[in-house]
Structure 1
């Protein structure tokens, strides 16, 4: 790794100035010396950029700006002079801790079958790297070892986010579905196509790694072995195979991607993407495409979890039932229906008893306890539910301090216990860590909007909707509220009707108020009848809205609108 650093510095193609070179050397040496936990903007500013103890990273963005430029310097180097370097140094967005990635990992001793597929696990998300003892067979594979290092040292960086205790629990034995990412196949001749095909596979794997909920594997199969991928996945117990191809001509690059259910052999999802071919923007093109594909595959409401929820893939082992239980809870959280809450809660309570090391189950259990309090499912016993939520989220973070689901639940706990600024700050950090996850975008947009910041919140919600195949109804709620508050009642009605397809009580509230402003007595009456099915919301509308953390001005407007709707309906 140090040799790679010196090779970068000796290359005329590495354009970084002396200050950024010092920045890179400092963060690499600190990481290799076991001090990655100290790599924060403040310490870097003092050590590299000559700032004093009064340095304020909010007022002086020098570290963030120079980190962004350094990432560009490294990208430019690896596109050209460093494309065949054995080790790649990467500074992930949202962090100053470098990753170290192998382009070619040496063959494992004792393996004689040079035609076999190599299947190193990217990570088991507890920090360990699991390598299947089969040899390499392609020079276009990049295997990430930095994930293990970062996961190990990042625990201390993340634990400050948790206000709860940190007990120790056994690691989970839950078998989440395995997803095998095959190398992208170049269908056109030429170096450009081969480069794009290799880069697409690498970028997609790196993006998918940020999502939890499945085990990720890569393969270095040769093109004539790709036809064996489905059988290989079945033999190894993987649930899904991701295949891709790249074609180029003088004007365009075309990427085709498919996700195949290894159990049934059916295509879960497939799509082709076309982009203008600009040799000067290969890196940005492959990254943009990989971002978009990762969103569809990996997000909580993406194609893998949706297919699993539909029962298309039978659990390979009995303890995969724990994973299916988390999927059931995700299903409930699409609509927040009372009828789906109790089965999801019982399932999660059984799961954490059976599988106490499963961080996702604890996180989701904490989230459902929050729902029980804020949605009135627990009657007036809100505080004890919030306490249980904190306990469950604390356990999830003690098991996996960097678990995305647990950190999302923690941000939710901050919001629903009135710590709005902390909630938004943590949610923004999670967006920075994985900008390809529409769910965390939607949570940020929702939290901004409920606190009255519709100017930023609504566009953020819209971005999440645009990136989701089948958005949950709550993604639309505060887009409709924002339109209602602006007096655009027809558009508010249209958006609320769209979200009401998921049978949402809040959608009916917005519909009733919008219909009333439009003078539609029949529509108002129908919305009020449906709203009455949601007893906590209908009985004490103002109290219900305040428990969601909604800003006073918005609560006042909605309550007044509901009174107007009831007056119109009673005529």
Structure 2
């Protein structure tokens, strides 16, 4: 029993001892038995294993290799850099536990958590007033009468302009690359920490796609299901008769969230749910469209497809068309566009397809450790499938990210930018009408400083899909950050088209309101992201609080800004210029930060 006590930290807020081994094992069984704990079977085994190891006193010796061998069937040659399976599954398990504790487990006596950066679990009392030890499951039935409150959104950081180096839940993203979901790219410019979306007053019906659930006999099934979810969202963005919640907003929800509760809390009209299951080389997909007011199933579809990219793309196309038709969009040019963009005569091989998934996995979190494996995989993919435009496009994005996320040394940046441009150019050569390829080339060209060429490319993307709010926002953001007020029109259209616009949509709106002296409006726009933890949004909020005379709030925002992203705390001008802001904008913003109390760090002479 001493080992069990040593395996976890004591409750420092009270004098009572920490949970005993009996309490911990009872809680573990309670979690595993509860239907609302939606972890895959592999992650359930992982949770059981790490708890057992901690209680046995072997926690301090538990490494990623230990878990990989015991849980995931790897051998002693396991390399965490080239195979991030343990790190990814640990991240998902943390999210599974978080979701459990905000719902069915919110009254459980013991909380089991897995600290970031480690695999050794922590055990602590969840309800401080509850000190009664819990009997083992074989001494009493599992807690089957736990309350079932309305689902609560679990915050998760969005990818992009760092809201801090601490990243949250990592969702495997953007498979099925027939139409690119531009949320990941758009968020790359000014990313935010996630938070519960606010209900939006309906203009047109709003729809949210919940993360598709995954089961089956292959490790990649969850990755594929995440890809189907993300790409379905991107495809639905083509239709203008309804608004679609962004990918990041969708992935904040639990797959089993109550549609009626989502309708009440988020203001959505419809909810799309799906389950994917693989068996013997085939995948079975079941999807439903649910009325969020009545809970009535308005449409359902079932698909059995071979486990190949081309057949899964076909199933996804059918889903997008069926859902859009149910919501009133007639067959016509938009539906035809979906069909054309999702059909491919040159479907990639599964290994290359997996490399795309790994690249999107990195781009959702921008976690440095995931960049090198994704880059290596894509380099192999373009050799294996040289005609795969998506692989070239994603390779271009990763080279660009290596520069603007400060992953590579300054001396290496010119070579990285050249590699980014070459890869994206190759993608456009292969498929000149690909939104993915054109978007990558537009972004890279913009960061090379060729703003006119970047604008021309982005306008091509906009012509291909004029209804996607992320495409509108990218167009608007780039124009506005270079001093062109036309960009504000695009940004306002993006906000109007989006069911729950990301905070970065409001960044340049905040900047121009500040430049115009409308500090109340600027603060309102800045808080759309500052309240989510965005370092850039916090910087805008600080300067507006100062202009409005609230210096205490300004100082608090500055402190939060520096904590979220130390670079902007040291050198905000460098951050603003990194994203190509004009000198006029940079000078005005830095002056505003100085009024708010920011001071330039002192330099030391060697």
TM-score (norm: length of structure 1): 0.45
Report the TM-score, using the length of structure 2 for normalisation: 0.43
Q: Determine which structure has greater relative contact order: mean sequence separation of CA pairs < 8 Å that are 6+ residues apart, divided by chain length.
A: 2
